[in-house]
Amino acid sequence: MIARHAAFLLPVVVATAAPVAAQRTPDAAGLERVVDRFNAARGAFDPAALAATLAPGFEEISPGGDIDDRARVLGFYAADQRRPAPAIERDERRTALRPGFGVTTERVSFRIARPDGTTATRSLRARYVGLRRGADWLLVSAQYTPIPSGPAPSTSAK
């Protein structure tokens, strides 16, 4: 009985789970534009522009593992919360679409000053999940995972 239903359901499950081809489609470009608007609004500390990119149930997982809801995220980017921030570089972007939603993943890198005056590059893997509403996209989730740095150079003489 199960085998008979599995033969019918397997193509449906595979078709539903398979991402759209890797080529950049208009739908992928639309999701990437909302990700870009989200990041621009964060950089400008513009909560109104940020709110326009977020679905009502939006949640963000910080690099430290905290789960922040939409209201808290908007509060982080209020104009009075603005602090100097390093320049951000984004690369390795890829977007996968599925029926009704899509996922954009990219590497986010920035340089930080060390106490000794040198700088170090830190990178995160950022993942954004967007929900399609008609022709528009809204983000329902963002997650930031630190990418481990390579081993520190050895300072001992050999």
pLDDT under 50: residue ranges of the chain: 1-22, 156-158
pLDDT at position 151, please?
64
Q: For the whole model, what pTM was predicted?
A: 0.77
What separation, in Å, do the N-terminal and C-terminal C-alpha atoms of the chain show? 69
Tokens read off for 9: 């359901």
Strand 136-147 with 101-113, pairing: unpaired
Strand 136-147 with 119-133, pairing: antiparallel
pLDDT at position 143, please?
98
